[in-house]
Chains A and B, each alone.
Chain A
Amino acid sequence: MHELSITESLVDAVIARLPGKRVTCVRLEIGALSGVVADSVRFCFDIVTQGTDLEGATLEIRQPPASCHCRICDVDFEPDSPIALCPCGSAEVTVLAGQELKITSVRVA
């Protein structure tokens, strides 16, 4: 359940960047290959924000799909599982997108 400490980290990061601001919305990107479960972050968010400047804030999560480049057949592809295998069978891939774990923006009152 690393999503609990991930959520604590994101709340701490927002408070550190915007001390004393009442935050009404937090927008995240959690990529398909990030290893983080968006629903678990949603579950933790309301608990972790209690008593903070983020209490009551909404959480909007964008989940960018995975995108990889195969170094063997030199094509880009979207893997359909966390095991990023090219359709040609190669595991020699470079991950182009899907590992995001980022606070993109917040809304403040």
Chain B
Amino acid sequence: MCGTCGCSSDAVVTLHTPVDYEHSHEPRPHDHSHPHDHPHDPQHHQHPRPDRTIELQQKVLAKNDELADVNRRWLRDRGILAVNLMSSPGSGKTTLLERTAKDLAGQVLISVIEGDQETELDARRILAAGSRVVQINTGAGCHLDAEMVARGLHALDVPGGSIVVIENVGNLVCPALFDLGEAAKVVLASVTEGADKPLKYPHMFRQADLVLLNKTDLLPYVDFDVAQYCSDLRRVTPDAVLLLLSATTGDGTTAWYDWLLRRTPPPPG
């Protein structure tokens, strides 16, 4: 092949680059000759195929959503209530679950899938409270996904007529996007975080079926306007149930237990 103009003494080859679709078949002027004593078959020109568009119209999280549906069917078929518990770090998820497991012992079995970036500290606390628990450490991950929860559910091997609480990674942003196959999403907030969280994190609060406002025992010591909080929450999610409680003193927890027990399927006969 001629390095000057790209033409070739070989019969059919014309130099193309991937971007050279609009090339000319006319050789560029040059100072040497090329004998062409054979016919050209235009069909032998090797044009690279241009890019083509393929319609996908597919949800980015389709795979997670499919796995979440598998989890949901698996849980429903076994008569297990799964709740996705989400909050910012330090709002009291683990403390609430410790108290819930102790207070409902003998009424219903509560198992926990613990999601944290690192450590098994929370799993040890839940275990000490008498619950079955599996710890998922997400490492750099900021949320649980349906595949992690599937592994957790199979590891737990929980019986029908019981509750699995999925304690998500403490984060008011990322977990909102990932369906885990739960029957309900619960967002836990606390009065020490400030009353502005529903307006600051509307994606999270909009998804909530139930909002728990924790640490109400500290209301005398913090600047937290409960009425304003309720009003702001209603601007984001008019339909979510709001319950006030203290996981430390137990005040208000009965309504939370009733909410859970009303949704728990009966043990399989």
**A91 x B234 contact (CB < 8 A):** yes
Knowing A91-B237, A105-B53, A106-B54 touch, does A2 contact B61 (C-beta < 8 A)?
no
Chain A's closest residue to B145 (CB) is A5
**Which label, helix, strand, loop or mixed, suits the secondary structure of the A interface?**
mixed
Tell me how many residues of B have a C-beta within 8 Å of chain A: 34
Check B242 for interface membership: any CB of A closer than 8 A: no
Out of A2, A9, A16, A103, name the residue touching B142 (CB < 8 Å): A2
Check A1 for interface membership: any CB of B closer than 8 A: yes
Check A44 for interface membership: any CB of B closer than 8 A: no
Out of B54, B143, B173, B203, name the residue touching A105 (CB < 8 Å): B54
Chain B's closest residue to A6 (CB) is B60
Expressed in whole angstroms, the Cα–Cα distance for A105 and B51 within the complex equals: 12
Expressed in whole angstroms, the Cα–Cα distance for A26 and B258 within the complex equals: 48
Residues of A within 8 A of B49 (CB): 109
Q: How far is the CB of A67 from chain B (nearest CB, A)?
A: 16
**B56 x A106 contact (CB < 8 A):** yes
Out of A1, A9, A33, A83, name the residue touching B60 (CB < 8 Å): A9
Tell me how many residues of A have a C-beta within 8 Å of chain B: 32
**B238 x A91 contact (CB < 8 A):** yes
Residues of B within 8 A of A103 (CB): 56-60
Residues of B within 8 A of A49 (CB): none
Expressed in whole angstroms, the Cα–Cα distance for A53 and B55 within the complex equals: 17
Chain B's closest residue to A107 (CB) is B51
Check A97 for interface membership: any CB of B closer than 8 A: no
Residues of B within 8 A of A16 (CB): 63
Check B128 for interface membership: any CB of A closer than 8 A: no
Knowing A2-B173, A13-B63, A91-B237 touch, does A102 contact B54 (C-beta < 8 A)?
no
* Interface bits B26-62 vs A (CB < 8 Å: 1, else 0): 0000000000000000000000110111111111111
Check B226 for interface membership: any CB of A closer than 8 A: no
**A106 x B61 contact (CB < 8 A):** no
Chain A stretch 86-109: residues in CB contact (< 8 A) with chain B? 91-92, 101-109
Expressed in whole angstroms, the Cα–Cα distance for A106 and B53 within the complex equals: 6
Expressed in whole angstroms, the Cα–Cα distance for A103 and B59 within the complex equals: 6
Name the residue in A2, A28, A108, A109 with the highest tally of chain B Cβ atoms < 10 Å from its Cβ: A2
**A105 x B142 contact (CB < 8 A):** no
**B58 x A13 contact (CB < 8 A):** yes
Expressed in whole angstroms, the Cα–Cα distance for A28 and B174 within the complex equals: 19
Q: How far is the CB of A60 from chain B (nearest CB, A)?
A: 11
B interface with A by C-beta (< 8 Å): 18, 48-49, 51-64, 141-143, 145, 173-174, 176-178, 199, 202-203, 234-238
List 11 A-B residue pairs with CB atoms under 8 Å apart, sorted by A's residue number.
A2-B173, A5-B143, A5-B145, A13-B63, A17-B58, A24-B51, A33-B203, A35-B177, A91-B236, A101-B177, A105-B56
A interface with B by C-beta (< 8 Å): 1-2, 5-6, 9-10, 12-14, 16-18, 24-25, 28, 33, 35-36, 82-83, 85, 91-92, 101-109
